[in-house]
Chains A and B, each alone.
Chain A
Amino acid sequence: MKISKETKIDLFTRMVRVRTFEDLTTVNFASGDMPGFLHLSQGEEAVAAGVCGAMRLEDAIYTTHRGHGCIIAKGADLNPMMAELFGRIDGCCKGRAGSMHFADVKTGCMGSNGIVGEGMRIALGTAFAQKYQKTDNVTAVFFGEGATGTGAFHESFNMAAVLKLPLIFVCSINLYAQMTPKSDHIAIENVSDRAAGYGAPGVIVDGNDIEAVFAEANKAIKHCRSGKGPYLIEAKTYRHHGHFEGDPCDYRPDGELEKWKKKDPIDLFEKKLKKEGVLDAKGIKAIKDEATKAVEGAVDFARKSPQPDVEELYKEILA
């Protein structure tokens, strides 16, 4: 598909914002200023930005415990996101959720999830509501290949297909289910083959090629908007960091990370944009500087935000 210059710059900017946010989060977490568990998605930005970059604000996403990338790419404000990671009252969930349970409903980010696969079951409901309310909005649910081992994957895909729900299943193949390599827990090469079992399209895309992801996401969104039911995108990519921050990653074969870093989605796209004359070195730097400024501003905002009062523990339990 032909992608406009403005869209290319937009997609690049989304990826850079995600990377910058997560790199600075790594630093703040390591310094001990950030409570809780942290799972980062460096290396997988093209999947988040390629899909979310093709969506409308009114479309919805559900994501995983490794969900910052999707939420930033969907358009969430960085300040309340960072405050949430610091557990502060100005966080998007008032400091109750932290990294693993983020939601930012106004931008359609309906929830991360600490339970692998569960986002798929809940995403059914938003897709159902979009259809029930006769909108042509769609929902995308992100998950890793590890989640395809859960009953949630089968139940949700089958239900979405039976009820013809506008639900895009986005499987980010980052080669590890926590610490277990893909070949040890999936008996087939391509997860997309499973879509045939539900009578839905299933496609493979290079998850480090943002334009390829964007093009496939557009096809999936068109399919869902026109009422044809679910669609599966299998994006083959790689997780640069461990399962969690602090994971020694001793399960990785030597040289694997280095090999994938040569295919870094941001570096690849940067080179392409320069070659095509879409952006020059100055333009690239401006985007990166802007992202750094925004993320540093978010850290500053978060640090200045008060800790929640202990009374917050008892608020909003019931509506």
Chain B
Amino acid sequence: MAKPVKFQWAINHAIAEEMRRDPNVFIIGEDVGKPGGPFGVTRGLIDEFGAERAVDTPISEGAIVGLCCGAAASGLRPVAEIMFMNFITLVVEEFYNQGSKMRWMFGGQVKQPFVVRAMTAGGFGAGPHHSSSLESWFACMPGMKVVMPSTPLTAKGLMKAAIRDDNPVLYIEPLSSYGLKQEIPEGDDVITPIGKAEVAIEGSDVTIITVGRLRGEAEKACKTLEGEGIKAELIDLLTVNPLDMETIYASVKKTNRCVIMHEAKKIMGIGAEVAADLQETMFDWLDAPVARVAAPFTHIAFQPALEKEYFPNADKLVTKVKEIMG
């Protein structure tokens, strides 16, 4: 049996199922307990699991993720919420210097099984302090993983995989996707493997790579291109650390062209890494320069017209694809 589940409830169900399965899993963060999460994602968990396992905290991001590092080293499996991704700047220390290094640095004496949820809110007019996509900061940190679900099914599957992973996982969820609905098999153990990209649409003319909330825009672009006779293959990365380059190579061998689209800035973004890797590894297979459709080198405005200018969308992607199709 499968029934339609909203993105935000898919996350909720994944956490609840894992908390039922493993008593060492608990949730912690600002508003996650009694208030049920700033946007209701953790609603009901405190009722089922109690305040000991659904822990409300002060507004102390560093202490929340520091606590995760220590609790994980001591046998627990914390799932923390940090709310908007811009607030993750306050815990770069705990990810970069502590959680991601601890296992290697201590000679393998500890594991760091914890998950931190962070929300991107591009497209909502949330402005400079609530709309950023900072995944590339964490994608270059060894010792941790970064996942970016794009559909209810991957939201559930990646959350369950993240909770079971023995490494720090940054789980990035797009606020604009909370309302998406998709059928998810009931009763099955839905797991989306970390480190594996999904070929969302098969095609032969150009590889389009997307990540996070832009999957919807990319799907729209693929339809438009199809109407114009261009068969695009769409890859949704789902994980940006580690990157699944094998799936990308296989696609580029088939299409010989590649465009990467992401919400984060073009400069030093995931696309820069993918493009550099492709020209190092796949130079002979490429018929055109690897192109990027990403945010410009400026700040995110709350003002609607300026915000629209900032973010990539289906139209910008179509234009770029046509450019490299020559």
Q: A317 touching B142 by the CB < 8 A rule?
A: yes
> Chain B residues near A92 (CB, 8 Å)?
107, 109
Q: B69 touching A125 by the CB < 8 A rule?
A: yes
CB 8 Å contact bits of A94-125 with B (1 = contact, 0 = none): 11110001011100001101110010111111
Judge if B140 is at the interface, Cβ distance under 8 Å: no
Judge if A156 is at the interface, Cβ distance under 8 Å: yes
> Which of A157-165, A179-187, A243-251 is the interface stretch?
A157-165
Q: B58 touching A122 by the CB < 8 A rule?
A: no
Instruction: Work out how many contacts link A and B, with CB atoms closer than 8 A.
Output: 145
Residue of B60, B69, B70, B74 near A158 (CB, 8 A) is B60
CB proximity of B256 to chain A, nearest CB, Å: 33
Judge if B62 is at the interface, Cβ distance under 8 Å: yes
Within A116-138, the residues touching B (CB, 8 Å) are 118, 120-130, 132-133
Judge if B175 is at the interface, Cβ distance under 8 Å: no
Bound-complex Cα distance A21 to B239 (A): 47
Within A23-69, the residues touching B (CB, 8 Å) are 60, 62
CB proximity of B240 to chain A, nearest CB, Å: 15
CB 8 Å contact bits of B54-72 with A (1 = contact, 0 = none): 0101101011111111111
CB proximity of B319 to chain A, nearest CB, Å: 39
Q: B104 touching A156 by the CB < 8 A rule?
A: no
Judge if B148 is at the interface, Cβ distance under 8 Å: no
Judge if B198 is at the interface, Cβ distance under 8 Å: no
Q: Given A105-B106, A124-B63, does the pair A319, B73 have CB atoms closer than 8 Å?
A: no
Q: B52 touching A319 by the CB < 8 A rule?
A: no
CB proximity of B194 to chain A, nearest CB, Å: 10
CB proximity of B255 to chain A, nearest CB, Å: 31
Residue of A60, A91, A113, A162 near B107 (CB, 8 A) is A91
Q: B167 touching A319 by the CB < 8 A rule?
A: yes
> Chain B residues near A128 (CB, 8 Å)?
67, 70-71, 74, 76
Judge if A152 is at the interface, Cβ distance under 8 Å: yes
Residue of B55, B71, B107, B166 near A97 (CB, 8 A) is B107
> Which of B95-103, B184-192, B294-302 is the interface stretch?
B95-103
Q: B71 touching A129 by the CB < 8 A rule?
A: yes
Bound-complex Cα distance A128 to B65 (A): 13
Judge if B93 is at the interface, Cβ distance under 8 Å: yes
Q: Given A159-B58, A317-B142, does the pair A125, B71 have CB atoms closer than 8 Å?
A: yes
Bound-complex Cα distance A317 to B143 (A): 5
Q: A103 touching B63 by the CB < 8 A rule?
A: no
Q: A111 touching B106 by the CB < 8 A rule?
A: yes
Bound-complex Cα distance A162 to B63 (A): 12
Residue of B57, B105, B143 near A101 (CB, 8 A) is B105
Bound-complex Cα distance A121 to B105 (A): 18
Q: Given A93-B107, A105-B106, A130-B74, does the pair A162, B68 have CB atoms closer than 8 Å?
A: no
Within B123-165, the residues touching A (CB, 8 Å) are 142-143, 145
CB proximity of B184 to chain A, nearest CB, Å: 28
Bound-complex Cα distance A272 to B19 (A): 55
The residues of B with any CB-CB pair to A shorter than 8 Å are: 26, 52, 55, 57-58, 60, 62-76, 78, 93-94, 97-98, 102-113, 142-143, 145, 166-167
* Other A-B pairs, 16, CB within 8 Å; known A93-B105, A121-B70, A122-B73: A93-B109, A97-B105, A103-B106, A114-B97, A115-B93, A118-B97, A123-B70, A125-B72, A125-B76, A129-B76, A152-B62, A155-B58, A155-B60, A163-B57, A316-B107, A319-B167
